[in-house]
Amino acid sequence: MAEPEPPAPPSEVTVLLQQLGGGDAKVANELARLVYDELHRIADRAMRGERPDHTLQPTLLVSDAFLKLVGHRDAHWQNRAQFYAVAAQAIRRILVDHARARQRVKRNFGLRVTLDDSIAEAPEPALDVLAIDEALARLEAAAPRQAQIVELRYFGGLDIDATAEALGISPATVKRDWTFARAFMLRELQASR
């Protein structure tokens, strides 16, 4: 297995992002090569809380997100941090859409009943991406910046400094908002159970 390439210098990714608006397929291919590992890491992180039988794979998630990102010809990319922030949003939307589609199928056809005693010993189910999305929507209504921070940190896997750069705020503000947002989300998720 080949060792992953080190992350590209921010300036190289930023230059390609700025050239992307011209619709040059070569630029999109070069950008994909440079950002793929980071997007895959973001997708892996976003899927960690998913149930083990999740049918969407990180590679497909990355491909769908990348196509959505480069498909917007009128997008004006400012820098690498903004690109990864928007990628985190795209990944979240794809996961939520996938969960909603799966829930519709389950609701219509997937009723199962079991009399197996081992169900009582089953581990706590993974966090439901739809419950997280709904809690995040409530946070967004109350505190939009804190909701962006949750999206970037939870779905995007960005650290404090990268989140601060993406939002144009100080790391201290991100830390403070992250503390508030985590408490809000925890309360909302516990209330929805």
Considering the domain boundaries, does residue 1 fall inside one?
Answer: no
Considering the domain boundaries, does residue 107 fall inside one?
Answer: yes
- Of 52-61, 80-89, 104-113, 146-155, the least confident: 104-113
Q: Read out DSSP for 109-154?
A: H-------GGGGGPPPPPPPHHHHHHHHHHHHHH-HHHHHHHIIII
pLDDT at 144 > cutoff 90: yes
The SS3 assignment for 31 reads helix
What domain range is 41 assigned to?
10-191
The pLDDT of residue 17 is 83
Considering the domain boundaries, does residue 4 fall inside one?
Answer: no
In contact, 147 and 184? CB cutoff 8 Å: no
Instruction: Give me the number of domains the chain comprises.
Output: 1
Considering the domain boundaries, does residue 91 fall inside one?
Answer: yes
In contact, 126 and 171? CB cutoff 8 Å: no
pLDDT digits (tens, 9 = 90+) for 39-58: 888 888 877 766 666 677 88
Q: Which residue has the tokens 């440079």?
A: 34
Q: Which residue has the tokens 């970037």?
A: 152
